[in-house]
Amino acid sequence: MAGLRLRGVAGSPGVALGPAFVFAPAARAAGGGAEAEVQASAAPEAEVARWLEARARLEAAYDRLVERAREAAGRGAAGAAAAEEGLAILEAQRMMVDDPGLEQAVREAVAAGKRAEAATREAVDRYAALFAGLEDAYLRQRAEDVREIGEAMLRALAGEEPIPLADLPPGSILCAPELGAGALLALDREALAGLALGSGGPTSHVAILARSMGVPAVLGLGDFLDEVRQGARVAVDGEAGELWVEPAGEELERLARAERRARAEREELAGLAGQPAVTPDGLRVELVANIGGPGDVEPALEAGAEGVGLFRTEFLVTGRETLPGEAEQAEVYRRVLEAMGGRPVIFRTFDIGGDKPVPALHLPQEANPFLGYRAIRIGLDHPDLLRTQLRAVLRAAAEAAPGGKGGAAGRGGTGPAESPARIMLPMVATLEEVRRARRLLEEARGELVARGLFPEGLRVPLGIMVEVPAAALIARRLAREVDFFSIGSNDLIQYTLAADRTDERVAGLYQPFHPAVLRLIGLCGEAAEEAGIPCGICGEMGGDPRATALLLGLGVRELSMTAASLARVKREVRRTPLARARELARQALACATAAEVEELVRAFREGWTAAGAAGGADAP
């Protein structure tokens, strides 16, 4: 008997084997009490008072968790990145608990005769539906926060601990129907070996946190707890998305081997922290992070990012009814620059339209939004919007420069000082777009200099994302007029293969290793080298270790990715001699299909594993 295999979804990679700790907090008085909840409440004031008392207990529970996460983040110890991530989630949830809108909705429902439980459900459902209906994935996730708070509030109303805590024996695999971010953060990290949950998907908070904590997790297992008794030996396979109950024989051996490998890898990657990203033959590669807001800066630094290769600034405008002004934007940008402490930060101008709606602009519905009114096209068509953003970045650059605004930067030196702030234009297809944007940048700069808000001698580089095949094909011409390239492989792949990146039915055509995609990247790498400007990449491919050698061979010298991918990509850079990477790229460009390229890459990388197993970790 190999044991029982239960299928869920992969939540966080790695394999963990250990005793199950089944954690099913007492069902709150929900099911049976539901009828009572909708009965008319005889004393509305008493119901409101009961709700306010429950909320106070919930606030206190959140305050305790926020405090713990803050302490853990402040200690800067291993796991501080997870603590930062958790802190951001908890603080956002803590604010929602106090939301006056929520209280108002509950008061109204109680006044209409509902009991506090039913009123809470109604208010929470309304809020959650509002968020769930938004197109922006980040904002959609807020629905999850609202529901989590609703559950905690109902527990508090039932007289239970609002955020139940599990007391874990060491080495446990926590098995639970669901687990909020708060409850996960409240666990003893040292004791938690793995996580198996009935609910949740790969983008849920609990999955994001488990990944940043390095805890293997399988989610979405449904009603699996009937199959797991307390203390049973279980194995979480976070890659396959499977939970094994009482694995035995060969299966047990396979899982135990995988667990040892995963642990050794974690240790190896941890050992790379603080080491430079340099190939064995001496090429220094810049490893930088993609961020979506100031909250991502700390985790990026923690993971060893040498800068920000892509700041997706559009969180400032998506889903908003009014647009942020120059000062509000400048403040956000300055905070990021300062937090990065002089390391380079690439601000991408608003990449809106397509799948990112901006209510304030009343953008029309389109039949082909990815081919339509998007990104730089909108910016050039709404020059005030783009100019405001350019001024905001310039102001932030000036304020973060030594000497502050309008200050000493660049004065009296040997030439213009270069700011760590860089500006990047998304979805460029033509040279005219670059020229018009540069004119707007010069105008913005002139206005600020006149207002004494920007020093004459400070240079803020202007680069472009190469996401449209047309741009890659004229890369040599573009390279003469921009300061850097960054390949937006997510879009470049979808446009090259004409395969919508959000349409699952054509997912098979979305091929990062297609020779056509590689040729376009190669054109950018060559053109950049010829013109003496840097060529980076900031799409998902940049964080895929399987693509690292190819990208280096094609001339890419800066790799930008989510913080979680940095260590693996660094390991890849450190074992890839540039000469071999070039040869690999040459062979890949001669391939006819993505499958052939993948096979080539697999064989190339197998060399490391074999050499590593033989003890020669650095040998190719």
Q: Which residues bind ligand PEP (CB under 6 A)?
A: 310, 312, 351, 467, 488-491, 538-539
CB-nearer residue toward ligand PEP: 312 or 445: 312
Return the SS3 of 264. Answer: helix
Of the candidate residues 37, 148, 491, 558, the single one contacting Mg ion (CB under 5 A): 491
Establish if 314 lies at the interface with Mg ion (CB under 5 A).
no
Select the binding partner of residue 538 from Mg ion, ligand PEP, none (C-beta < 5 to 8 A, by kind): ligand PEP
Q: Least distance (Å) from Mg ion to the CB of residue 569?
A: 20
Residue 299 binding: pick among ligand PEP, Mg ion, none (C-beta 5-8 Å cut-off by kind): none
Q: What is the DSSP string of 125-185?
A: HHHHHHHHT-S-HHHHHHHHHHHHHHHHHHHHHTTS-SS----PPTTEEEEES---HHHHH
Which amino acid is present at 612? G
Q: Which is nearer to ligand PEP, 331 or 370 (CB)?
A: 370
CB-based closest residue to Mg ion:
491
Quick one: which segment of 15-23, 483-491, 596-604, 612-620 binds Mg ion (CB under 5 A)?
Answer: 483-491
Dist CA 243 CA 196 (whole Å):
7
Please, which of residues 354-383 interact with Mg ion by CB under 5 A? none
Annotated active-site residue in 362, 514, 538, 591: 538
**Cβ at position 467, least distance to ligand PEP in Å:** 5
- Separation between Cα atoms, residue 158 and residue 135, nearest integer Å: 35
Q: Least distance to ligand PEP from the beta carbon of 287, Å?
A: 16
Determine the interface stretch with Mg ion among 282-290, 384-392, 490-498, 600-608 (rule: CB under 5 A): 490-498
In the sheet that holds 9-12, the strands lie side by side as: 4-7, 242-245, 233-237, 15-22, 172-176, 192-197, 217-219, 9-12
Q: How far apart are CA 259 and CA 13, in angstroms?
A: 11
Pick the closer one to ligand PEP by CB: 115 or 312: 312
Q: Which does 312 bind (CB under 5 to 8 A by kind): Mg ion, ligand PEP, none?
A: ligand PEP
Tell me the closest approach of the beta carbon of residue 428 to Mg ion, in angstroms. 11
**Rounded to 10 degrees, what is the CA torsion of 252, 256, 257, 258?**
100
Catalytic annotation on 535? no
Q: Under rule CB under 5 A, which residues in 198-227 are in contact with Mg ion?
A: none
Distance between CA atoms of 510 and 504, rounded to whole angstroms?
Answer: 10
Cα 310–Cα 313–Cα 315 angle in degrees, nearest 5 = 130
Q: How far is CA 212 from CA 61, 478, 538, in A?
A: 23, 38, 20
3-state secondary structure of 194: strand
The token duo for 439 is 């004119």
Residue 326 near which of Mg ion, ligand PEP, none (CB within 5-8 Å, type-dependent): none
User: Does residue 370 contact residue 305 with C-beta atoms inside 8 Å?
Assistant: no
Binding segment (CB under 5 A) for Mg ion, from list 278-286, 393-401, 485-493, 497-505: 485-493
Alpha helices in 174-238 (DSSP H): 181-185, 205-213
Choice between 501 and 580, CB closer to Mg ion: 501
Q: Least distance to ligand PEP from the beta carbon of 562, Å?
A: 11
Strand partners, 535: 485
Region from 466-474, 493-501, 524-532, 609-617 binding Mg ion, contact rule CB under 5 A: 466-474
From the candidates 205, 514, 524, 535, which is the catalytic residue?
Answer: 205
Which of 241, 488, 553, 555 is the binder for Mg ion (CB under 5 A)? 488
In this complex, which beta carbon is closest to ligand PEP, that of residue 198 or of residue 539? 539
Select 340 or 541, whichever has its Cβ closest to Mg ion.
541
Total number of residues shown for the chain: 620
In Å, how far from its chain's centre is CA 193?
Answer: 24
- Which stretch, 61-69, 102-110, 238-246, 464-472, contacts Mg ion (CB under 5 A)? 464-472
Nearest to 465 by CA among 456, 475, 451: 475
489 binds, among ligand PEP, Mg ion, none (CB under 5 to 8 A by kind): ligand PEP
Cβ 490 to Mg ion, closest distance in Å? 5
Based on CB atoms, which residue is closest to ligand PEP, 18 or 534? 534
Least distance in angstroms from the C-beta of 425 to ligand PEP: 12
Asked whether the beta carbons of 207 and 14 are under 8 A apart, the reply is no
Query: Out of ligand PEP, Mg ion, none, which partner does residue 115 contact, by CB within 5 to 8 A per kind?
Result: none
Distance of CA 295 to the CA centre of its chain: 11
Measured from the CB atom, the residue of 199 and 490 that comes closer to Mg ion is: 490
* Smallest distance, Mg ion to C-beta of residue 538, A: 8
Whose Cβ is closer to ligand PEP: residue 489's or residue 496's?
489
Residue 560 beta carbon to Mg ion: minimum distance, rounded to whole angstroms: 12
By the 8 A CB rule, do 501 and 490 touch? yes
Q: Which residue is nearest to ligand PEP (CB)?
A: 539
Q: In this structure, what are the phi and psi dihedrals at residue 139, rounded to the nearest 5 degrees?
A: -70, -35
Provide the strand spans (E) within 296-412: 308-312, 345-348
Token output for 372: 């339509």
Which of these segments, 3-11, 305-313, 410-418, 461-469, binds Mg ion (CB under 5 A)? 461-469
Q: Which does 37 bind (CB under 5 to 8 A by kind): Mg ion, ligand PEP, none?
A: none
Give the DSSP H or E segment for 491: helix 489-496
> Given the complex with Mg ion, which of 143 and 537 has the nearer CB atom?
537
Structure tokens at 337: 């620059």
- In the complex, the smallest distance separating the C-beta of residue 571 from ligand PEP, rounded to whole angstroms, is 23
Asked if 389 and 350 touch (Cβ cutoff 8 Å), the reply is yes
Residue 180 contact partner, candidates ligand PEP, Mg ion, none, CB within 5 to 8 A by sort of partner? none
Structure-token pair, residue 101: 């809108």
Q: How far is CA 198 from the centre of its chain?
A: 24
Instruction: Give 5: exposed, middle or buried? Use CB within 10 Å, 0-12, 13-18, 19+.
Output: middle
Residues annotated as catalytic are 205, 538
What residues line the site for Mg ion (CB under 5 A)? Answer: 467, 488, 491
